[in-house]
Amino acid sequence: MAKRINFFDTTLRDGEQSPGCSMNIKEKILLAKQLEKLGVDVIEAGFAASSEGDFESVQMIANEVKNSTVAVLARAVKGDIDKAWEAVKGATKPRIHTFIATSDIHMKYKLKMEPEDVIKKAEEMVRYASSLCPEVEFSAEDATRSNPDFLAKIFDKVIEAGAKIINIPDTVGYTTPDEYYNFIMDIRKKSKHLDSVQISVHCHNDLGLAVANTLAAIKAGATQCECTINGIGERAGNAALEELVMIMNVRGDIYGVETGINTKEIMKTSHLLTSITGVSVQPNKAIVGANAFAHEAGIHQHGVLSNRETYEIMTPESVGLTMNKMVLGKHSGRHAFKDKLQSMGYDLAPEELDKAFEEFKKLADVKKQVFDGDIEAILTDREVKAEDKYKLVRFVINSGNTITTTASVVLNKEGQDIEGIAVAGGPVDAAIRAIDKCLDIEVELADYSIQSVTEGTDALGYSIIKIRYKDHNYIGKGMSINIVEASIKAYLNAVNSIYA
Ligand code: KIV
Ligand code: ZN
């Protein structure tokens, strides 16, 4: 029978630690539900002791998620473990994930503890966590720079204390596949108990080896891999879930393992994360990049048209990518729209369907062909919208190559219309400056981007704007066939999220 690999997704914890990837509670819940749909075995929901916000989001995710285990991170400290348990105890399948550093450099300079005291602390805290929670995972932070004899000793102690999963992380992305394989095999030989529990692997990508190292660990006996969507995470990120799953699927002949991942949900999950964080993946990113299934060279296009397998080792459909299939137009009714959504894997409640249909109708009025990508964008955009304090009423732009651009923007602020007028070099800048004149607060624009959702000059423009207010970043998204309107919507969405 094929070996089952469990996927432990840490997008909401290690991923969220990466710069620019912070999420609010609503967004975290939305992503957690999508991860559950994707079929991950474990969702690491956060680090409860790190902030009130993290505590609350772990608690809410624990209450929402039913099929996946919900894990919560805790240092090997009693206070952290108490908070972790308090946050996760409502989950159908709760897990406390506790860690302590084991490398000489971390023990000496970070923990300022003697190795024997680190073992005692780990054992004591795993025993305590196990007295609260039915499933406890122990991680030896910076394991790959730790002494294997020491690791074998600490692992045996924490397993005797109740740990059911032992994680051997490459915290600083330092190891290489061969070295990691031999390292894990060596610890397995040295430890009395390691083979009686689940071995987990957690790799960072500092040398670009996170995925390769994870696969080497699986060959060495690991059955849980810790990873993130789009490979986001501390510094250079973590091993990318989508790459690991597709390697295991496409090269089943080599790995011979099975997973519980529904690969058709990969694209949707990746897009959702991008739309929440505003951090896009590079176009040539494996599996989820915009060019991952594009064939540019004529010789390749010809080959693919004759037989897809000439240049395609997996189908776009297998990762849930619908190749911009033209679906509906302005004459399509609610029924056809609902059918289409269902075929794309969306099952909306009646009131949500009404809202989405309304958005679709508005789009179909101005855009001849509505593609799957457009519909997905409508749904994602709708899902992450903040409550609106400022609403756009109308705007007028006067622009040209021989005049200064002028923008007039009218906003409705809690029932009252206010107008801002500004001049600037270009229409987007003028519109943003006009909005600034209507706001009660001063915000700083930190990042701006716009891209088209599908092809053609009538494509939907999708704008992502990051602003800073009182040392916090806020992200806004906006979509429209008019790129100035998309930018205005994104800016207002970011401003409104300050109040939300
Ligand atoms: O990279 C790491 O070592 C971690 C641990 C907390 C598992 O994220
Ligand atoms: Zn990590």
Closest residue (by CA) to atom 2 of ligand 1?
A: 171
273 shares its domain with 316? no
314 shares its domain with 328? no
Ligand 1 atom at shortest distance from the alpha carbon of 10:
8
Point out the ligand nearest to the CA of residue 165.
1
Point out the ligand nearest to the CA of residue 47.
1
User: Does residue 89 form part of some domain?
Assistant: yes
Q: Give the predicted TM-score (pTM) of the model.
A: 0.85
184 shares its domain with 271? yes
What separation in Å is there between the alpha carbon of 100 and the centre of ligand 1?
9
Structure tokens at 175: 């190891």
How high is the pLDDT of residue 296?
A: 63
Closest alpha carbon to 281 in 296, 295, 266, 262: 266
User: Does residue 186 form part of some domain?
Assistant: yes
Closest residue (by CA) to atom 1 of ligand 1?
A: 171
Q: Which of 8, 18, 75, 139 to mutate to test the pocket of ligand 1 (most atoms within 8 A of CB)?
A: 139
Between strands 224-227 and 198-202, the pairing is parallel
What separation in Å is there between the alpha carbon of 14 and the centre of ligand 2?
6
User: Does residue 284 form part of some domain?
Assistant: no
Closest residue (by CA) to atom 8 of ligand 1?
A: 14
- The 3-state DSSP class for residue 442 equals coil
379 shares its domain with 305? no
Q: Report the domain count for the chain.
A: 4
What secondary structure does DSSP assign to 82-123, as a single string?
Answer: HHHHHHHTTSSSEEEEEEEE-SHHIIIIII---HHHHHHHHH
What separation in Å is there between the alpha carbon of 204 and the centre of ligand 2?
6
451 shares its domain with 421? yes
453 shares its domain with 485? yes
Closest residue (by CA) to atom 5 of ligand 1?
A: 141
Closest alpha carbon to 481 in 338, 334, 371: 371
368 shares its domain with 400? no
- If DSSP states are collapsed to H, E and C, what string results for 333-363? CHHHHHHHHHHCCCCCCHHHHHHHHHHHHHH
371 shares its domain with 460? no
**Distance from C-alpha of 149 to C-alpha of 141, rounded to nearest angstrom:** 15
Ligand 1 atom at shortest distance from the alpha carbon of 139:
7
How high is the pLDDT of residue 23?
A: 86
Residues with CB under 6 A from ligand 1: 14, 99, 139, 141, 167, 169, 171, 202, 204
Q: Give the domain extent around 308.
A: 293-321
How high is the pLDDT of residue 180?
A: 98
Final residue belonging to a domain, choices 340, 369, 384: 384
**Distance from C-alpha of 97 to C-alpha of 49, rounded to nearest angstrom:** 12
384, HSE (Cβ side, Cα atoms, 13 Å): 30
Q: Identify the segments of the chain with pLDDT beneath 70.
A: 295-304, 323-327, 381-387
- The 3-state DSSP class for residue 232 equals coil
424 shares its domain with 370? no
140 shares its domain with 100? yes
Structure tokens at 7: 């996927």
User: Does residue 20 form part of some domain?
Assistant: yes
Ligand 1 atom at shortest distance from the alpha carbon of 172:
1
Here the CATH number for the domain that contains residue 468 is 3.30.160.270
User: Does residue 401 form part of some domain?
Assistant: yes
Final residue belonging to a domain, choices 334, 369, 384: 384
User: Does residue 444 form part of some domain?
Assistant: yes
What separation in Å is there between the alpha carbon of 498 and the centre of ligand 1?
31
Handedness of CA 144, 147, 148, 152 (dihedral sign): negative
Ligand 1 atom at shortest distance from the alpha carbon of 99:
6
What separation in Å is there between the alpha carbon of 42 and the centre of ligand 2?
15
How high is the pLDDT of residue 387?
A: 66
Report CA dihedral (484, 487, 488, 493) to the nearest 10 degrees: 160
Final residue belonging to a domain, choices 210, 245, 277: 277
User: Does residue 282 form part of some domain?
Assistant: no
Closest alpha carbon to 256 in 228, 225, 215, 288: 215
Closest alpha carbon to 269 in 237, 226, 232: 232
pLDDT digits (tens, 9 = 90+) for 229-281: 999 999 999 999 999 999 999 999 999 999 999 999 999 999 999 888 878 89
268 shares its domain with 360? no
How high is the pLDDT of residue 295?
A: 67
180 shares its domain with 212? yes
User: Does residue 286 form part of some domain?
Assistant: no
What separation in Å is there between the alpha carbon of 469 and the centre of ligand 2?
29
Contact (Cβ atoms closer than 8 angstroms) between residue 174 and residue 144:
yes
